[in-house]
Structure 1
Amino acid sequence: MIKKLLFAGIMAFSATMVAQTTEESTVTGKKGFYFKAGGSYFFQTVATEFPTVNGHEAKEEVYNSDGTELLSSKSITGSFGEGFRTNLGVGYRFTERLAFEMGIHYYIGNSRKMASYTNLEDGNTQVAPGVFVPTVITFQSKGQIKALDLSPSLVLNLGETKGFEPYTKVGVIVPVYGFLEIKTDATKSTTSGTKLADVYKRDVVKPNPTVGFMAALGTSYKLSGKLSLYGEVEYRNFTVHGKTKETKDYVVNGQDRLSTLPYSEIHTNYVNHLDTNSNNPETNSTGYNTNNAKDELSSYVGISGVGLTFGIRYDL
């Protein structure tokens, strides 16, 4: 059924192209290379539950002052598909209708809250020789994605009318560089409210290779013989699975304490499953080695969104 619909769509589009006529000089003049530059803002389309952060689920929870009673809880959902993108592109127009385009994009997503806990029970802490008091932790983690990607695509131009030339574009998204940065601010205090420590932690998650899909509907408007403005509405859809995580900063009361953490608390390898051979204290308590990277279950984040793009195009 899908193949029949696709074939029918291609035939209908071909018939439309044949039905439209253009002067030969115009057709010849529209062949060749062109360059594009512009900017985009994307809005998230699909909200999913964020992955765990340092072993804590993507939730917003509030406990009573001593951390023994849960007062409220809700899941945190969202996507990293909202943010700004800078675009460069080069294309080659084979005919008046058909072109190939290679886009180069740098995306900076908006910071999104991934976890928030208030008065989470943290056991007893020694505050003086032989003196232990119950403590709680309040923290919030936020994540932000930065990525560089390529987007090879086919462009179907629909014909120029009074300077406007609408087009459609479909292609794939190939990330070449990027990371998810997670920043956590935490406060450790006694159940009576005395602050013991302020903690800041910054983790960087690097992804596995992936490929996404994009489609756009746009139009250009000719300003001169070679210079045009263009605008697009673009939909993109892809997810990213984590490969590794590394703690880059760990600061306690303003002091760098990264060197005090074991190797396994700084480095993480993401895997598809955990078993008794994994370097994880929950599944392999006797064989867990703090001198090696810790194994944790892989999760994914969505970067799907709909964006508005505006820019200029120069035809050679």
Structure 2
Amino acid sequence: MKKNLFILGMMACSMTMLGQSKDDSTDKGYYLKLGGSYFLQTAATEFPVVSGSLPNTDVYAANGTTLLSRETNHGSFGEGFRTGITGGYRFNARIGVEVGVNYFKSSSKTMVETTNRLIAAGPVFVTGNAIGTISAFDVAPAVVLFLGEANGFEPYTKVGVIVPVHGDLEIETTRKYTTPVGVVDAFTVEKVLPNPTVGFMAVVGTTYKLGKKISVYGELEYRNFTVHGKSKETKSYTENGVDQLNSTTSFRDGSYAENHVNYVEKIDSNSNSKVTNSAGFDRSKSADDISSYVGISGLGLTLGLKYTL
């Protein structure tokens, strides 16, 4: 898909450059664009495991052990709102470059959901869900191919890359523990930091002149990239509104390993993992876990203003 879009962009570049007929010197110069976008998700994938819980929606019977239904949770964090400012330079009538700086906030996605599961003798039942949201700043350099102006409209296309410079996946987990002595409402906030990554974007758009230097513009943008976790930290954990982040008497053990995770490609007998090295697991250090991937693919519409300097 990426290769095909790149080839189409290069073909458009060749065609428009061959069709160039007016004086390029009148089109040179800098411009600024300010806009807002809304994206719909594309290329939905299965969500990663959340703190040991598979990305499923599970419903159990009253006994807490009989599974009545299971559904896999999947999607993309590409759905959401974006705002940004873009600086551009036009070399001539047909070609230019842009660099955008954007802030993106995804829509919330349910990653795990459980109803009435028996987790311990007593008995103790748990019902709850884990909801994820991505926020990120990115830099997006691109090559712009202008297709010619007619009646105030000037369509264009551009291809480029997306480089996230800061951001995280925030997971809010709500659990209701039903015990013989009462109900405990637990709430956890975890933040996953990503490894560096690069994405791809392809855009078709048009401007419409309102004045000599002011235009409005609209763009339809497809973007595709994935990120994988570098580390995770539990930022807060409460039970019935009381801080239990470091408590050893709550439903979590409160250790450093419980609150900090390093993501790696592989865990084995040398890893600080309860799964592969239970005998050597050190609760005073960050736990090791396998890195998961999430998608931020989307198709979006951007509207904004363009000012030619």
Q: Given the two structures, how large is their TM-score scaled by the length of structure 2?
A: 0.93
Q: CA deviation at 1:15?
A: 4.4
Name 1:93's counterpart in structure 2.
Answer: 90
Change in CA separation of 1:4 and 1:216 when aligned onto 2, cut-off 3 Å: closer
Match of 1:44, as an amino acid?
Q
CA-to-aligned-CA distance 1:143-197 (integer Å, 9 cap, x gap): 000000000000000111111000000000000000000001100013x7x7431
Q: CA deviation at 1:136?
A: 1.0
Please show how residues 153-232 of structure 1 align to structure 2 within 5 Å.
153-190=142-179, 195-232=182-219
Structure 1: distance between partners of 2:262 and 2:36: 35
Name 1:127's counterpart in structure 2.
Answer: none
Correspondence for 1:59 among 34, 39, 56: 56
Are 1:66 and 1:136, in contact at CA under 8 Å, matched by a contact in 2?
Answer: no
Change in CA separation of 1:217 and 1:300 when aligned onto 2, cut-off 3 Å: same
Change in CA separation of 1:140 and 1:15 when aligned onto 2, cut-off 3 Å: closer
- Residue 56 of structure 1: SS of its match in structure 2? coil
Name 1:84's counterpart in structure 2.
Answer: 81
Match of 2:293, as an amino acid?
Y
CA-to-aligned-CA distance 1:180-215 (integer Å, 9 cap, x gap): 00001100013x7x7431100000000000000001
1:238 counterpart = 2:225 = yes
Name 1:270's counterpart in structure 2.
Answer: 263
Structure 2: distance between partners of 1:240 and 1:8: 26
Please show how residues 133-152 of structure 1 align to structure 2 within 5 Å.
133-152=122-141
Name 2:17's counterpart in structure 1.
Answer: 17
Match of 1:19, as an amino acid?
G
Q: CA deviation at 1:29?
A: 2.4
Structure 2: distance between partners of 1:232 and 1:268: 40
Q: CA deviation at 1:222?
A: 0.7
Structure 2: distance between partners of 1:230 and 1:200: 43
Q: CA deviation at 1:21?
A: 1.9
The alignment of Structure 1 onto Structure 2 pairs a total of residues equal to 302
Are 1:98 and 1:154, in contact at CA under 8 Å, matched by a contact in 2?
Answer: yes
Match of 2:158, as an amino acid?
K
Structure 1: distance between partners of 2:191 and 2:15: 51
Structure 1: distance between partners of 2:225 and 2:9: 25
Name 1:291's counterpart in structure 2.
Answer: 284
Moved more, 212-221 or 7-16: 7-16
Correspondence for 2:31 among 25, 30, 34: 34
Structure 2: distance between partners of 1:231 and 1:72: 44
Q: CA deviation at 1:270?
A: 0.5
Question: Structure 2: which 5+ runs fail to align?
Answer: 248-253
Structure 1: distance between partners of 2:12 and 2:273: 57
Q: CA deviation at 1:66?
A: 2.5
- Percent identity, aligned pairs only, is 52
Q: CA deviation at 1:87?
A: 1.3
Are 1:187 and 1:195, in contact at CA under 8 Å, matched by a contact in 2?
Answer: no
Structure 2: distance between partners of 1:19 and 1:96: 10
Change in CA separation of 1:95 and 1:292 when aligned onto 2, cut-off 3 Å: same
Q: CA deviation at 1:116?
A: 0.3
Are 1:167 and 1:217, in contact at CA under 8 Å, matched by a contact in 2?
Answer: yes
Match of 2:141, as an amino acid?
P
Name 2:251's counterpart in structure 1.
Answer: none
Are 2:13 and 2:145, in contact at CA under 8 Å, matched by a contact in 1?
Answer: no
Change in CA separation of 1:42 and 1:94 when aligned onto 2, cut-off 3 Å: same
1:250 counterpart = 2:243 = no
Name 2:250's counterpart in structure 1.
Answer: none
Structure 1: distance between partners of 2:277 and 2:3: 49
